[in-house]
Amino acid sequence: MDQELHYEYNVEGGDFSRAGYASSQIKKILKRLNIDAGVIKRTVVACYEAEVNIVAHAYSGAVYFDIESNRLKIVFRDEGPGIEDIEMAMTEGFSTASEEVREMGFGAGMGLSNMKKNADQLNIESEVGRGTRVEIIINT
């Protein structure tokens, strides 16, 4: 990409009617840039998992999307309960999702491992009682 671009979106905790809005905007931007369809799918699936995690598990958050010369960087930062044991949270099947989240079709404990599968790099930092920062890197 010859142009570096930056976008930001807010994410509301608990608001399932809007969950996916940021990921949808990211998808539209990537499509306009004629990025390979497989790369777009990996990017937006990982983003959507991270976005739904803020809605499902945190209070509020923001998405920072950067298009760099040879990679995409998407950072999800939230204010929320944080993750006590990141390694355990990454285990497929581990979930603390509420009944309400499960009724929406989520809460199988597959999101973090699916993000890892789709991203070229996944970095998670979390502080219990404060919040979580998830960074997804996709090489283009």
Partner 1 sequence: MKVSDIVRILDGRLVCGDNRSDYTIDVAFASDLMSDVLTLVNDNVLLITGLANLQTIRTAEMSDINCIVFARNKKVSQEMVSLAEESGISLIECRYSVFRTCGLLYQAGVKPVY
Sites of contact with ligand ATP (CB under 6 A): 49, 53-54, 56-58, 78, 80-83, 89, 94-97, 106-112, 132
In whole angstroms, the minimum distance from the beta carbon of 9 to partner 1 comes to: 14
Residues near 114 by beta carbon (within 8 Å), at least 6 away in sequence: 45, 46, 49
Smaller CB separation from ligand ATP, 4 or 88: 88
Is 45 or 83 the residue whose CB approaches partner 1 more closely? 45
Per CB under 8 A, the list member of 3, 17, 69, 70 interacting with partner 1 is 17
d(CA 48, CA 26): 10
Question: Vertex 63, ends 99 and 132: CA angle to 5°?
Answer: 60
Amino acid found at 65:
F
Interface with partner 1, residue 23, by CB under 8 A: yes
